[in-house]
Amino acid sequence: MPVNILAQVFDQGLSSIPLGWTAVKVAPFFALLYLLKWFFNGAVNKSERNMHSKVVMVTGGTAGIGAEVVKQLATRGAQIVLLVQQPLTDPFFVDYIEDLRTQTGNELITAEHVDLTSLHSIRLFATKWVDNAPPRRLDMVILCANTMTPAGGKPTMTEDGLESSWGLNYVANFHLLSILSPALRAQPPDRDVRIIFGTCAAYVGGQLPDFDAKSSTAKSKKERAQTEFRPSNVYATSKLALMTFAVAFQKHLSTYARPDKKPMNARVIMVDPGWTRTPGMRRFLTFGSLWGLALYLFTWPVWWLVLKSGDQGAQTFLYAAMEAQWGRGDGGYFLKECRKVSWSRKEIDDEVLQKQLWESSSKTIEILEKEGAKKRASEKKEKEKAEGKSTAKESNSEATQRKAK
């Protein structure tokens, strides 16, 4: 058929073909659209790796980029451990896991209940994972969990009193890895262990807290925190802090002296997936409002063009997980569009800032966990007291009825 059409064009001219000139006129437009879409889709992972028997722990693995990463790794045979906030008995979540197992042909997809907005929940899970003899296998930790307060939105707090973006994007990851560190360092020397941090180009606009601020300054500690963690800048700050911690965590792993005298085999990799049409990005673009959602739907062709799909956003994560060269060397790599790049903020390399951030985070978590423990003990005591009163009332009621008889 195409040969006949071309023959007719050469023999009788383009006008002999219905809508021939129209097709020629619009062809450049569609060619340009195709090239723009190809450009904005970004690089594609071309590396492969045998993932069978590999144990991969994933946060944020049920939506957006994380869900695509999980699907691709599970398809390649990896054993997936999802850290999820919802109850494991939730029927919708059970169906999700079953569907995922069917789609990937992999039955080794499990989940653990971990509320990343709760320091206590993180500690319960991580200590249970570490407290195992021999150490449980752990080949990879992929940190995709992420949240962002829309522009103009009201800041929300975690149950420990942390601003939600700061608490989930940074503090939760710091707390989780700090406790899991022994499990990562205890892996056999021939095992390729990777810790993959999901970050974002927004880190460039972040501003780390002032660690040298004294309590005698004009603003109170609480007021300083509110200034430093405004919705307009807290997301960028959380990503800058996460990358600074990632570099420090690599040093923490590398300086560990293994009992077998072998070199450390755990490597940190930071990944910027690029701008992607994730639920979080949609919430940001819609300002978390209905009128914003209507505007987003109206302008959806633009976002379809300039933003990656979840599958395209997952490509650099897959590259970080499967490319052989990232399983060698000193670690602390930063990847974007399936290639190694350099970060543009000098604070990330500052060892003094790394130490201050680590110590400040540890101290904050220690204080908040103590407060949380006191609160839980008080609530337990109140509950027991209430149950005791209820039991006493029931006993008095039964005694009164017996007397009446």
Q: Which residues are catalytic?
A: 239
Residue 337 is classified by DSSP as: T
- At 5 the pLDDT is 65
- Per-residue pLDDT 10s for the chain (405 aa) are 566 666 665 566 666 666 665 666 667 777 888 788 888 888 999 999 999 999 999 999 999 999 999 999 999 999 999 999 989 999 999 999 999 999 999 999 999 999 999 999 999 999 999 998 788 999 999 999 988 887 777 778 888 889 899 999 999 999 999 999 999 999 999 999 999 999 999 899 888 877 765 443 434 444 444 445 666 688 899 999 999 999 999 999 999 988 888 888 999 999 999 999 988 888 888 887 888 888 888 888 898 888 999 899 999 999 999 999 998 888 899 999 999 999 999 989 999 999 999 999 999 999 999 998 888 888 888 877 777 766 656 666 666 666 665
Q: Which residues contact 285 (CB under 8 A, 6 or more apart)?
A: 292, 296, 303
Nearest to 125 by CA among 77, 78, 71, 183: 183
- At 380 the pLDDT is 82
Q: What is the CA radius of gyration of the chain?
A: 27
The answer to whether 233 and 202 are in contact (CB under 8 A) is no
Neighbours of 333 (CB within 10 A): 21
- At 183 the pLDDT is 93
The answer to whether 168 and 147 are in contact (CB under 8 A) is yes
Write the single-letter amino acid at 114.
V
Domains and CATH numbers, the chain: 2-41 (no CATH), 55-273+308-365 (3.40.50.720)
In this structure, the chain runs to a length of: 405
Report how far residue 167's alpha carbon sits from residue 169's, in angstroms, rounded to the nearest whole number.
6
What global pTM score does this model have?
A: 0.85
Report how far residue 249's alpha carbon sits from residue 357's, in angstroms, rounded to the nearest whole number.
11
The answer to whether 44 and 313 are in contact (CB under 8 A) is no
Task: Evaluate the CA torsion angle 244, 245, 250, 256 in order and state its sign.
Answer: positive
- At 377 the pLDDT is 86
- At 98 the pLDDT is 95
